[in-house]
Structure 1
């Protein structure tokens, strides 16, 4: 486990130490530096970040609430893993929640909001770093949803998106899905620009459904490949 490559990106953004710990570990998980099932030793995290164990525990508890890590008796803290079925369930929750947020936001969208969203999409087109791509992708969606002015709804959406974010980045990278994702983003934004509620919601639902089906297929294939490798190893 090495968090030192992530920590410099975060130190100027967060004031409370538990918040810093949570963001550094969260980013390491989203970037794939920490894998599902990997153990997080609190003393090691504290040493790498130059903090005491108390804020480390508080930060990890925050990530537990987000579903990114889990505390297990006698095993400590582990990075959570998601199965294909769990990803399916998360998207079944995300689609109605995100469509609700967009529907509530649309009456408040201004020309400036549309221009900002266009700038984010242009930045995504130029971005080659997968971690930065993930942040820009979240920024595009969050920039529209925030106009709904529903803090609890937005918090739920943020947590659900964080849970699948690491897998989405891998999926986008391995299967070169970025051009299609961008095409779908622009279809959403075009409908938002016209204040066409049915078209915007339909485009968003299609966008999320495509990502869901792709991720579920990818994770199912990965599971089957692991099972096959395990069977071959036992037969030797």
Structure 2
């Protein structure tokens, strides 16, 4: 094993730890990632830390800025649009496959989530219930690889952006659209359910992208 290979091996757990911290929201967009602090935390030199940060930069989680070092990368409005386009494709396909396989317990669980949705006046609660509702709808699709891709996409968007999307959309519109999607599922109307889901995601995409553009311009 070469010295470089050793650094890469040591970097793997640091990479995994930092990636999880970014995706969980422990490190927020724009927050600096100081190599000396990370090295002390993991009990290593700065060499594997830099290797881990460079890998995170390649994967789109970290950005190196002049005179600032590594920071957690922030998504631009354009990047959000790209991710949401992918979300439309993946989630509509998942629902298309799921609706014919849904049984009464799936519909009952989705209905229970919608009842819990408005039980608290909290953006964090609404965001959590939103993800849970969509997850319940897609699980009967029978394609674990597709479900894993959807989950990875949500993680890549990160908790900060998910909360921003929830705050921008509010409660009323998403709640009404969720109910309409569920009714289509109950009627086993796959095309209607997919069409409603596509419109639902695209509306959220436009609203959130507009808010991010205003942020970037400000």
TM-score by length of 1: 0.70
The 3 A distance-change label for structure 1 pair 168 and 43 is: same
Residues 98-137 of structure 1 correspond to what in structure 2 (within 5 A)? 98-137=91-130
1:26 pairs, out of 23, 41, 45, with: 23
Partner of 1:170: 164
RMSD: 3.3
1:84 aligns with 2:108: no
Q: Tell me, which stretches of 5 or more residues in structure 2 are unaligned?
A: 1-12
CA distance in 1, matches of 2:130, 2:59: 19
Q: 8 Å contact 2:118–2:126 — kept in the other structure?
A: no
Q: Tell me, which stretches of 5 or more residues in structure 1 are unaligned?
A: 1-15, 226-236
* Per-residue Cα deviation, 1:4-59 (whole angstroms, up to 9, x for no partner): xxxxxxxxxxxx99877755542326xxx723x21123665688xx87669xx799
Partner of 2:144: 151
Task: Give the length in aligned residue pairs.
Answer: 201
CA distance in 1, matches of 2:207, 2:84: 12
The offset of 1:181, in angstroms, is 0.8
The 3 A distance-change label for structure 1 pair 138 and 44 is: farther
The 3 A distance-change label for structure 1 pair 89 and 71 is: closer
CA distance in 1, matches of 2:116, 2:55: 30
Relative contact order, higher structure (CA 8 A, sep 6+):
2
Q: Larger radius of gyration, structure 1 or 2?
A: 2
The offset of 1:222, in angstroms, is 1.3
